[in-house]
Amino acid sequence: MSSRALTVAALAVALPACGDVAIKRDVACGAQPLQVLPNGSFDAVAPAWMQEPVTVALICGSPRITPIDGTQAACLGGTDGTVETLSQQVPLPDGARSVALSGQICIDTAETQAADHDVLQLDLVDLGTVIAALGKMTNQQGATPCQFKAFMLTAPLTGDPATATLRIRSTLDTGMPTSFYLDALKLTVSCTP
């Protein structure tokens, strides 16, 4: 092999390929917070909400609940001793610093004790690791019958992936059941401190 061919081969190994650049983001930061959650009203077929366990009961409408926006809502809980999860992938802009989740919630509970027996946990996760703990709601904030009310939860981001997963998880004890109904969700991302 000639010295020129050896030099070209060495350069090919030492230099990155022309196409090697940072991961392209689907969204970019701006002066205003950016809404990144698709299908926040649960009505669209795509993108579908991932369900665990897979069941048609985690997204429902009338007669079980009358949604605020459209014909469907998230319907978690309702059965004692269960853990149910809805999740949706969201794009994040480079430099994202905080997130805010807003929407409508209706918590219908049969619990009578002043303790957190049934919990709805809301997190933004990256490969199973929580990067924004948005908060929780419990049976103590519920009533029977329930009425939808607005909520907003905010949290700083501790990671910067190109995509993350909004995870909504209900955990019910084996006592009286609680149902958590969510609708009209928006997840906004801010890049300013």
Whether the per-residue pLDDT at 10 is higher than 70: the answer is no
Domain that holds residue 95: 22-190
What is the structure's pLDDT at 37? 97
Q: Provide the whole-model pTM.
A: 0.86
CB 49, CB 59: distance < 8 Å: yes
Query: What is the average pLDDT score of the chain?
Result: 88
pLDDT digits (tens, 9 = 90+) for 100-150: 999 999 999 998 888 999 999 999 999 999 999 999 999 999 999 999 999
Name the nearest CA neighbour of 142 among 181, 113, 106, 101.
Answer: 106
Domain tally for the chain?
Answer: 1
Higher per-residue confidence, 93 vs 13: 93
CATH code, domain with 160: 2.60.120.260
